[in-house]
Every structure is written in C-alpha cells, then in structure tokens.
C-alpha cells in the first residue's frame, strides 16, 4: 500500500495527529528515521519487563495494552506506544498486543532520542499524550477505590 517514497510518507505523516502542524523540514526528518512494519493479529509488539528498543505508531489497526495480563487501554490508528522505556530507560511498563492485522511506523531508540532533541514540537505533543494517559489512569484508579 504504502509510503515507500519519502514524499508519499511525508504526505501521510501530515495527517497523523502526533505530527500535525510540524514543519516540512521536521516531517522530512521524521520520514527519514521511520520504517514501516506489518504484523498479524495476536502478535506481542512490546513485552512487559523487556528492554525498550523502539517507538511505534499505529498506521492501521488496533492493539490492546496489558499489564500483568489485564487490559488497561486500547490503541487505534494514529496512536503511539513504546515511548516510556525510551524516555526513562526502564523496562517496558506493559505489553502491547495487536488486536487486528496491524501496520506500524517504527523508530529505533537512538533515532527517537535524536528526533525528540531536534523537534521540540514532537516532544511537546508526546508530553501532552503522557499527561492525558496519566489523567485517565488517575480517574480509573479513583473510580475503583
């Protein structure tokens, strides 16, 4: 389907909420650092406790986030995951499992760190998503206590 040419990939990146509003230069930088990977439903994309080696963004499909075998969130097209281990250097906080055949944009850890340094708007957007996830988790915790 997809994005083997960099201009096509940049056009597509513009439509991803995480990358919307970034400059052409930033999108070009991001396009250079990404690979596209496909996986089948049921594939474990990150494993809780493992070393984090990449950042992943769902191009098409959905995935379940599980902690200690229990579902804690669902991720869909446009959502990203795998950022936590790359930011804090700790093991994967959760497993992420494909719920459908899935297409992913993958950024290797060193490239991810370079992009965070080179593209402040990306850093801000990822921080905002982390805040949203923490607020949701706090609400869920308060509801269950």
Comparing C-alpha atoms, which of 31, 25, 42, 28 is closest to residue 3?
31
Of the pair 30, 75, the CB lying nearest ligand CMP is at: 75
CB of 82 to ligand CMP, least distance (A): 5
47 sits near ligand CMP (criterion: CB under 6 A): no
131 sits near ligand CMP (criterion: CB under 6 A): no
Contacts 24+ apart (CB under 8 A), 74-78: 74/99, 78/16, 78/17, 78/18
Are the beta carbons of 103 and 2 closer than 8 angstroms?
Answer: yes
Residue from 37, 73, 114, 116 in contact with ligand CMP (CB under 6 A): 73
H-run or E-run covering 81: strand 80-81
Report residue 122 as tokens.
């990306």
83 sits near ligand CMP (criterion: CB under 6 A): yes
What number of chain residues touch ligand CMP (CB under 6 A)?
16
Report residue 94 as tokens.
């959760």
Of the pair 71, 120, the CB lying nearest ligand CMP is at: 71
Q: Which residues of this protein are in contact with ligand CMP, per CB under 6 A?
A: 46, 52, 65, 72-73, 81-85, 92-94, 96, 133, 137
């Amino acid at each position: 389907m997809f994005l083997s040419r960099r201009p096509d990939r940049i056009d597509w990146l513009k439509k991803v909420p995480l990358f919307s509003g970034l400059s052409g230069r930033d999108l070009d930088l991001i396009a250079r650092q990404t690979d596209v990977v496909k996986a089948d439903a049921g594939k474990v994309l990150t494993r809780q406790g493992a070393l984090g080696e990449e950042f992943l963004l769902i191009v098409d499909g959905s995935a379940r986030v599980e902690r200690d075998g229990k579902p804690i969130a669902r991720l869909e097209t446009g959502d990203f995951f795998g950022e936590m281990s790359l930011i804090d250097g700790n093991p994967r906080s959760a497993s992420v499992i494909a719920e459908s055949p899935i297409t992913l944009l993958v950024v290797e850890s060193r490239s991810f760190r370079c992009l965070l340094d080179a593209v402040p708007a990306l850093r801000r957007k990822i921080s905002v998503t982390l805040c949203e996830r923490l607020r949701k988790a706090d609400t869920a915790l308060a509801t269950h206590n």
